[in-house]
Structure 1
């Protein structure tokens, strides 16, 4: 009877130990999941910020390019107008400006 009691106690200690190990593993897994989720959220935030920064830069580049194209168009129109009027001096000035812009 004493041996049976000892075996039963050992069995319960082993079961308690297994339960404790499983509980610890569950806690560790939950902590790892939480950390992975936090890293994913941070990476998503960084990616969003990076993409927004790039989009802002592209938008600024586009605005600058559009501005340059409009300025060149105005100079070309001035050149054409000068040619139609026969204004050699204005035509030469517009042509020089247009050439300088295109050489940049």
Structure 2
């Protein structure tokens, strides 16, 4: 699972593995180079004790990295992250009508 988080101090928005976030704090490998950072995020690397900790706000939760990345532009502009399609899924499904047999 992945989160889109806003780092409260810098107001930057990023996709991070859910296991990096606990109690509104995100562990962040500040010493990683860009390519290593992307690899660590995609592979949901286990946080190390030397990583920096930052206060964050979770903006969106996604089941996978690809979905989170697709939602990132909306999160950066703080628009509604829930699409109309997702809103429809929240509504209970309609019951199917039974066909009347003509006998």
TM-score of the superposition, structure 2-length normalised? 0.21
Larger Cα Rg: Structure 1 or Structure 2? 1
Higher percent of residues as strand: 2
TM-score of the superposition, structure 1-length normalised? 0.21
Work out which structure has the larger RCO, using CA pairs closer than 8 Å and 6 or more positions apart in sequence. Answer: 2
